[in-house]
Structures are given as structure tokens and as C-alpha cells.
């Protein structure tokens, strides 16, 4: 059964600073309703839009990253419809059939499928820049039971990227992986923060062999992409298997119930009365802008960053684990530059420190939760120079650093190995009988000696494996000198 999936991914350019056509903030989270507004984004009569140059530059980064064709100039169009959250009664977008020119067309994403560790490709049809409408808020019970609706215009006019793919995707898992990869790319380019509430929405077109195309709207998380598409494949397969035909329609993803439902009759394209926005002249995209974008994209290409870590001999799952969390990659690169062993540093950051943060329910994406590179360098040195075993660093030091990432490593070191050596030497001197037993082949005498060392070390944190290793070394030297 052949499945074809194409996606429309709407991502807010939350890092653009201001809204697309006014100075209000692009990130409205945490603000009181209707406080992030002005005459432009409220659509008051006489207010004129002025394009936020930053959002054009950011969109251009996406266009370059996905190897699209970039036009000499772009043209915004109006899409008309009436809804309380759309104060102008039109949304500014880039509709090609009405004279709009999108920021780019015809590129592709080469993305890593981490389920098979294979690289896949999905073509990009085009990328549009458009504005987000406001938000309609209902009382408990939703649109059906709420006695009234509240409208919040804080989001009205926030710049959106609309990434439209060709139907090159063949499974729900692939669709999810692709969206995750695109979001990660946009995050690295400083375009968006994918973890902000409501920062992206996905519409999916899906058809299975022998049926018409169905559009599923309103998917709000990467996990839901997989769920919604799995549900839709099952629904459509049942229709085909029962001998009926899948009709072309638009459906709505109900995340709470985990089902797709038919949506109200959809307007025809003509009903939107599209035309180029007369308030917004075409915007030139200079070669200079494109060159600058290319330079930035090169420095943040996650494919290159990932492959550079592989070249250091790091296994692919650890390398990918580091790349997917930007603060950990930043610390990793700096730690390796300081001269740290790349594999040990990767293990610390990509597995054990990350695991420790997760266990503590700490934000992995918060820079302040990661230690400075000097600290990681020090941890790597302790392991490489065999001052402590990796397990000691993992079990005793990493939790303390996660607790306070700025802590001075020297202040939390377990009992220094040199001191332990002294203790071991004196135990060997004093426990003559046990030493003799051990050397004559009674291996269990070693445990007694370890116990004696631990007793003298007292409450100070020492890894028993370190003691065992050091004792064995010393005893075997003793034996060879006899």
C-alpha cells in the first residue's frame, strides 16, 4: 500500500524581534491579552504596514538552507475572509496565482532519518512569508458550549514561515522526523524557538493508492503528526478495503480524542478575493543579502556540524544526541577546541550530563543548565589521566555539576587519588598476613584489603573500583619484585 504525504508547516519566526509589519513583539507569550498591539496589527483605518526587514532576512536564511531558488523580488498579496481574530478582514500572504511572489521555490531538505540512520530527501515546493491572525479564546467547553468568545490580538501580525513540501514522504514516522529536522534547522538559524507554546502548526496532505487526497489541518506537535497520519491511513485503508472510495476532503485533527473529523465546507480559492497588497511595494532581494545569508547558513548547517563530530570518532547516536540540543553542541565544540578527548567529552555531554538534566526535570535547552567548557575539559582530563574512572565522574561529579553548573570542579573532587595511594601503601605495610595470603593465591584476601582501605578513607566519596584497581596494581608490583 503506497502512502504519499505532503506537508505545510507554519512556523512563527519568534526570534524576529517584532511583528511582520509593526513594532509590536514577535514573541507575545506571557503578556496580558491585547497589550502587544498597535494601530497596524489591530487593522485600524489609515494604519499602514512597514515590513520588518529582520523577518525577510530570516526567511532568506531558510530559503538558502533548503537550497531553494530565490527571486529578485518578493510580492505580498491579500487573502480576504471574515473572522473576529482577523481585524483587517484580510491576511497578508504570498499567493502566487494572484501575483504574489514567495521568498523561494523549488528546493529540498536532506534530512537524517534517525530510525534507520539513512539520509532522506524531501523536495520543497515553496516557502511563503505571511502574518499570523489573532487568537480566539473560548470558555471551558470550547467553541460548542462557551457562551461567548474572547479575542486576543497579541499574536495578530506575528511573522510566519509557511514551508510547503512536495508529497515525497511515505510514512507518518518520516513526516515527523522531517518536521523535527526542519524545526531544528530553523532553530539553529535563529529563526524560531520550536519549544514555545503554539509556535508551529502543520497541515498534512495524505493519500493512499487508489484514493483521493485528504487534507488534515491543525496538527500542533511533532508527536501528533505521527498520530494524526497513522489514524488517517487506518481510516482511509478501511474505506478502500470495504470497496468504497476515499473522497477528497479537509479534516481537522482532534488531538484530545486522537481522531480526525470532517471540517466545515471549505471556501473555494476565488472566494478569498486574492490580489497584490497595494500598501506594500515589491521588496528587492539583493545579491548582497543572499551572499550574507549563505555565509550564515554555512556556519549553522546541522548536517555539517553532525558529520564533523562523526569525524572525531564519536558514534552516530551520541553525535546526533549532541547536535539536537544546541547548548550542548556549543559546549562540546568549545571543549574539544580546548584540547579535550572528543569521545569522552561526547559521552559526558551527549549521554550522561544530558541524562542527569532529564532526571532532574531541568530544561535541556537552557544555556545556564550546562557547565562551561572548562569544566567539561576538566572532567575529561580526570578520566583520560586515570585520576578517576569514568563511573566516578558520572556517579559523583556529574550530579554535583548539574546541581550547580558554575561550580569549581576542584571543590567537589572526591578524595584525591594520591591520598588514597598513601592509605593503600600503609594498609599493605600493616596487613602483612592478608598480603601474604593474596600473593600466595588466596584471591579473597583482596576483598579484606579493600575493606581496610575503605574503612580508613572514611566517609569521603571514593569509587571502590578505583581502590581495587590501585590495590591490584601495587600487589602485582610487589609480587614481581619478590
**d(Cα 354, Cα 402) in Å, to the nearest integer?**
9
**d(Cα 41, Cα 47) in Å, to the nearest integer?**
9
**d(Cα 343, Cα 390) in Å, to the nearest integer?**
12
* DSSP helix/strand/coil, 117: coil
**132 vs 168 by CB, closer to Zn ion:** 132
**22 vs 467 by CB, closer to Zn ion:** 22
Task: Name the minimum Å distance from CB 94 to Zn ion.
Answer: 20
> What backbone phi and psi angles, to 5 degrees, belong to 162?
-115, 110
Provide the grid cell at 77: 498579496
CB distance 39 to 82 below 8 Å: no
* DSSP helix/strand/coil, 62: helix
Binding mask 349-388 for Zn ion (x = CB under 5 A): ----------------------------------------
**d(Cα 375, Cα 462) in Å, to the nearest integer?**
20
Task: Name the minimum Å distance from CB 48 to Zn ion.
Answer: 12
CB distance 290 to 298 below 8 Å: no
Neighbours of 4 (CB within 10 A): 15
**41 vs 409 by CB, closer to Zn ion:** 41
26 binds Zn ion (CB under 5 A): no
Task: Name the minimum Å distance from CB 45 to Zn ion.
Answer: 15
CB distance 87 to 283 below 8 Å: no
CB distance 137 to 151 below 8 Å: yes
Candidates 35-43, 255-263, 361-369, 426-434; binding stretch for Zn ion (CB under 5 A): 35-43
Task: Name the minimum Å distance from CB 47 to Zn ion.
Answer: 9
**22 vs 336 by CB, closer to Zn ion:** 22
* DSSP helix/strand/coil, 342: helix
* CA of residue 375 relative to chain centroid, distance: 25
The single residue listed with the C-alpha cell 468568545 is 149
Closest CA to 91 of 21, 29, 144, 36: 21
Closest CA to 319 of 329, 327, 363: 329
**52 vs 375 by CB, closer to Zn ion:** 52
Candidates 38-46, 235-243, 266-274, 400-408; binding stretch for Zn ion (CB under 5 A): 38-46
Residue 269 carries which DSSP code?
A: G
**38 vs 239 by CB, closer to Zn ion:** 38
Q: Which of 7, 9, 16, 24 binds Zn ion (CB under 5 A)?
A: 24
Contacts with Zn ion: how many residues (CB under 5 A)?
5
Binding mask 189-218 for Zn ion (x = CB under 5 A): ------------------------------
Task: Name the minimum Å distance from CB 14 to Zn ion.
Answer: 16
* DSSP helix/strand/coil, 64: helix
Q: Which of 7, 11, 20, 22 binds Zn ion (CB under 5 A)?
A: 22
Candidates 19-27, 210-218, 363-371, 393-401; binding stretch for Zn ion (CB under 5 A): 19-27
Task: Name the minimum Å distance from CB 24 to Zn ion.
Answer: 3
Task: Name the minimum Å distance from CB 376 to Zn ion.
Answer: 43
Task: Give the torsion sign (CA, 321, 326, 332, 337).
Answer: positive
Neighbours of 156 (CB within 10 A): 29
**48 vs 304 by CB, closer to Zn ion:** 48
**d(Cα 473, Cα 465) in Å, to the nearest integer?**
12
**50 vs 290 by CB, closer to Zn ion:** 50
Closest CA to 62 of 116, 117, 13: 13
Residue 263 carries which DSSP code?
A: P
Query: What's the half-sphere exposure (Cβ side, CA atoms, 13 Å) at 275?
Result: 3
Q: Which of 41, 184, 340, 398 binds Zn ion (CB under 5 A)?
A: 41
Task: Name the minimum Å distance from CB 153 to Zn ion.
Answer: 8
**41 vs 63 by CB, closer to Zn ion:** 41
Task: Name the minimum Å distance from CB 41 to Zn ion.
Answer: 3
Q: Which of 4, 38, 263, 289 binds Zn ion (CB under 5 A)?
A: 38
Candidates 15-23, 106-114, 259-267, 401-409; binding stretch for Zn ion (CB under 5 A): 15-23
Candidates 24-32, 53-61, 364-372, 434-442; binding stretch for Zn ion (CB under 5 A): 24-32
**d(Cα 482, Cα 479) in Å, to the nearest integer?**
5
200-208 vs 3-12, strand pairing mode: antiparallel
**24 vs 86 by CB, closer to Zn ion:** 24
Candidates 31-39, 199-207, 316-324, 431-439; binding stretch for Zn ion (CB under 5 A): 31-39
Candidates 30-38, 139-147, 198-206, 222-230; binding stretch for Zn ion (CB under 5 A): 30-38
Candidates 22-30, 236-244, 306-314, 353-361; binding stretch for Zn ion (CB under 5 A): 22-30
Candidates 37-45, 89-97, 206-214, 343-351; binding stretch for Zn ion (CB under 5 A): 37-45
In the complex, the residues that contact Zn ion under the rule CB under 5 A are: 22, 24, 38, 40-41
Amino acid at each position: 500500500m503506497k502512502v504519499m504525504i505532503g506537508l505545510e508547516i507554519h512556523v512563527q519566526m519568534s526570534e524576529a524581534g517584532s511583528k511582520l509589519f509593526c513594532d509590536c513583539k514577535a514573541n507575545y507569550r506571557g503578556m496580558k491579552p491585547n497589550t502587544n498591539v498597535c494601530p497596524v496589527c489591530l487593522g485600524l483605518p489609515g494604519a499602514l504596514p512597514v515590513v520588518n526587514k529582520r523577518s525577510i532576512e530570516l526567511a532568506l536564511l531558510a530559503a538558502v538552507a533548503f537550497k531553494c531558488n530565490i527571486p529578485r523580488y518578493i510580492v505580498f498579496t491579500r487573502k480576504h475572509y471574515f473572522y473576529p481574530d482577523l481585524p483587517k478582514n484580510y491576511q497578508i500572504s504570498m499567493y502566487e496565482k494572484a501575483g504574489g511572489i514567495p521568498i523561494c521555490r523549488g528546493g529540498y531538505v536532506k534530512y537524517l532519518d534517525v530510525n534507520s540512520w539513512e539520509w532522506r530527501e524531501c523536495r520543497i515546493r515553496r516557502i511563503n512569508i505571511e502574518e499570523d491572525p489573532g487568537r480566539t479564546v473560548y470558555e471551558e467547553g470550547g467553541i460548542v458550549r462557551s457562551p461567548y468568545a474572547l479575542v486576543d490580538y497579541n499574536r495578530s501580525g506575528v511573522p510566519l514561515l509557511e514551508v510547503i513540501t512536495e508529497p515525497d514522504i511515505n510514512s507518518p514516522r518520516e513526516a515527523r522526523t522531517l518536521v523535527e529536522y526542519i524545526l531544528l534547522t530553523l532553530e539553529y538559524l535563529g529563526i524560531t524557538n520550536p519549544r514555545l507554546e503554539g509556535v508551529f502548526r502543520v497541515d498534512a496532505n495524505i493519500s493512499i493508492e487508489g484514493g483521493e487526497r485528504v487534507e488534515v489541518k491543525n496538527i500542533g506537535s511533532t508527536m501528533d503528526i505521527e498520530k494524526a497520519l497513522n489514524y488517517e491511513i487506518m481510516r482511509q485503508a478501511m474505506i478502500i478495503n470495504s470497496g468504497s472510495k476515499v473522497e477528497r476532503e479537509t479534516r481537522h485533527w482532534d488531538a484530545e480524542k486522537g481522531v480526525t473529523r470532517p471540517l466545515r465546507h471549505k471556501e473555494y480559492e476565488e472566494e478569498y478575493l486574492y490580489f497584490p497588497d497595494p500598501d506594500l511595494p515589491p521588496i528587492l532581494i539583493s545579491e548582497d543579502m543572499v551572499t550574507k545569508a549563505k555565509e550564515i547558513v554555512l556556519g549553522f548547517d546541522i548536517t555539517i556540524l553532525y558529520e564533523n563530530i562523526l569525524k572525531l570518532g564519536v558514534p552516530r547516536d551520541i553525535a546526533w544526541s549532541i547536535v539536537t540540543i544546541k547548548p550542548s553542541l556549543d559546549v562540546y565544540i568549545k571543549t574539544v577546541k580546548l584540547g579535550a578527548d572528543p569521545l569522552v567529552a561526547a559521552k559526558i555531554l551527549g549521554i550522561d550530563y544530558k541524562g542527569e538534566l532529564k532526571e532532574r526535570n531541568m530544561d535541556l535547552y537552557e544555556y545556564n543548565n550546562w557547565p562551561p567548557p572548562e569544566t567539561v575539559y576538566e572532567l575529561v582530563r580526570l578520566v583520560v589521566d586515570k585520576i578517576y574512572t569514568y563511573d566516578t565522574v558520572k556517579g559523583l561529579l556529574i550530579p554535583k555539576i548539574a546541581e550547580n553548573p558554575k561550580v569549581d570542579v576542584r571543590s567537589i573532587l572526591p578524595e584525591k587519588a594520591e591520598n588514597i595511594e598513601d592509605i593503600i601503601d600503609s594498609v599493605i605495610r600493616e596487613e602483612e598476613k592478608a598480603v601474604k595470603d593474596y600473593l600466595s593465591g588466596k584471591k579473597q584476601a583482596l576483598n579484606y584489603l579493600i575493606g581496610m582501605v575503605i574503612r580508613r578513607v572514611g566517609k569521603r566519596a571514593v569509587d571502590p573500583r578505583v581502590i581495587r584497581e590501585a590495590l591490584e596494581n601495587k600487589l602485582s608490583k610487589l609480587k614481581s619484585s619478590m
